[in-house]
Every structure is written in C-alpha cells, then in structure tokens.
Amino acid sequence: MLSRLRKSAGELGWPVGISLVLLGLWEAAVRGLGIRSIILPPPSEIIEAVIARRELLLAHLWPSLYLTVLGFALSVIGGILVAVVITYSSILRRTFYPIIVVSQVVPKISIAPLFIVWFGTGTMSSLLLAFLIAFFPMTINSALGFQSIDEDIHRMARTFMGSRWQIFWKIRMPNALPYIFSGMKISITLAIIGVIVSEFVASQEGIGYLIKLAGGLLDTPLMMAAITVLSISGLVLYGLIALAEQHSVYWQSSSDIGGIAGG
C-alpha cells in the first residue's frame, strides 16, 4: 500500500514539476516583458483574484455545478436504461442504435440557441444541453459493457439454470461496470461543457455567464480566475468518479480498464 502510494506520488512528480516550471516561466515572462494584465495576467495575480473575488466566484460556481451534476446524473440513468433496452430488444437496437450514432454528427453545442428559444434562458436549457451532450457516451459505453459478456460465461450460467434476470444482475451488470465508469468519466467533462456553453448563450448566472461578463468588462484576471475555479471543479468531479471506479471495479488493475476503445 505504502509502496503503491509512493509509486503514484513518483508518477505525479514529473507532470506536477513541469507544470510548476511552466507557471514560473509564465510569471517571469509577464513581469520581464511588461505584458499588461489585461492581456495576460501572471499566475500570482490570478491566484490573488481567486482569493479576493471568492464570494462572487462561488455564487456563480454553485448554480453551474448543480446543473452539471444534475445533467450528468440524468445522462447516467438515461444512458444505462437505453443501453439495457437496446441490449435486450434486437428490434429497438436495430432501429435506434444507428439513429443515436448518426445523430452524433450534429455538434450538439450548435443546438444551444435553439434550446433557448424552446425552453427560455433559465436553468432548463442548461440542464437539457448538459444531459444531451453527456448522454451519448453513457449509452454507447454501457451498451458495449452489457453486450460484451463472454459467450462461455453466458453458457456456464445457463447450464446452472440462471434466469435472464439473474444473468443480467449477476453477470451483465458487473461486467458492464468498467465500461459504465469509462462513460461516466467522459460524460462528466461533457456535462460541464454543456452547462458553460448554455450560460454563454443566454443566462443571468453561472460561471459561464461570469466568464462572458468579465470578458465584456475586460477584467482578464477575473476571467482567468473563473476559468481556474471551473477547471479545479472539473478535476474534482472527475477525481470522485475515478475514486468510485477504483473502489467498484476492484477486480481490474487500472491499466486494463478500457472504455469504448478497448477493455
């Protein structure tokens, strides 16, 4: 356990080190070249802005996070349900699977203004956009997980008289878990994008709105502070999912957890 911790700390050493060096270079370049902070504030000023404007940032962060998590949760539930349906019904699979895949050609962000027309500038548009964007990888990954069970395992369960219901809960579900978590890791990032874009387009609150507002006021430090806070939040949400994955998918080592690309 200790050696594993030390190993992961050692693996983090390089990227963290490089990041610190780059931040240092950024700081030195801005100061040395006398770049105005309206163009590019140095990291120290961004950190100052995060601390000084924390109440404003938090007030706008919460609604965005709330909608992100809600939209993400809906996409997880919806994606898994649709995946179950297309796993068990070959007619529905042959009907809807191609439609779902082809519909991915439409860049969903381009629908944001349409949602504003339909659902107004409130939270509903943001929630729906987050859901819509996050839904696809959830569905595809879960469906892949449910369908990728080994033919031998299926046969084994049938010789011991396993029912469809038992085979679903005792075999397909645990078998799909690694795929579901891969989908979740993609979906949470996409849900954030959905909410922020929707807030860009039309909203009176949220971190996306704050970024746009700060841009309009040429308050670049505030803008960078908002982006920083948003990135940290995204990292935390992703980390929570990765943690839950490590706990739930205990039988795989992290190196052989594959998503849509493998596994």
Partner 1 sequence: MRAATLSSVPMSAGPDQSTTAPVLRVSGVRKSFRELEAIRNVSLDVSANEFVSVLGPSGCGKSTLLMMVAGLIAPSDGTISINGSPVTGPRPEIGVVFQQPVLLPWRTVLDNVLFPIELLKLPRAQYEHRAMALLAMAKIDDFANHLPRQLSGGMRQRASICRALIHDPSILLMDEPFSALDAITRDEMGVELLRIWQANRKTVIFVTHSIREAAFLSDRVLVMGRRPAMIIEDLKIDLPRPREIAMMESEPFNQHVRHLRKSIEASHAQ
Q: Is residue 94 at the binding interface for partner 1, with CB under 8 A as the rule?
A: no
Measured in degrees and rounded to the nearest 5, phi and psi for residue 39 equal: -85, -55
Nearest CA-CA partner of 68 in 175, 191, 213: 191
Q: Which is nearer to partner 1, 55 or 256 (CB)?
A: 256
Give CA 27 to chain center in angstroms: 30
Say if CB 231 and CB 88 are below 8 A apart. no
**Given candidates 159, 255, 261, 262, which one binds partner 1 under the rule CB under 8 A?**
159
Q: Compose the 126-155 pattern: x for residues touching partner 1 by CB under 8 A, - for all others.
A: ------------------------x-xx-x
Q: Is residue 11 at the binding interface for partner 1, with CB under 8 A as the rule?
A: no
Q: Is residue 31 at the binding interface for partner 1, with CB under 8 A as the rule?
A: no
Query: What is the smallest separation between the CB atom of 31 and partner 1, expressed in angstroms?
Result: 54
**Given candidates 3, 110, 251, 261, which one binds partner 1 under the rule CB under 8 A?**
251
Query: The tokens of 244 are what?
Result: 């839950």
Q: Is residue 162 at the binding interface for partner 1, with CB under 8 A as the rule?
A: yes
Say if CB 42 and CB 31 are below 8 A apart. yes
Q: Which is nearer to partner 1, 62 or 169 (CB)?
A: 169
Max CA pair span of the chain: 76
Query: What is the smallest separation between the CB atom of 155 and partner 1, expressed in angstroms?
Result: 6
Query: The tokens of 37 are what?
Result: 């902070």
Q: Is residue 161 at the binding interface for partner 1, with CB under 8 A as the rule?
A: yes
Q: Is residue 246 at the binding interface for partner 1, with CB under 8 A as the rule?
A: no
Place of tokens 């050692």: 10
Query: The tokens of 217 are what?
Result: 């006021």
The residues binding partner 1 (CB under 8 A) are 150, 152-153, 155-163, 166, 170-171, 174, 177, 250-252
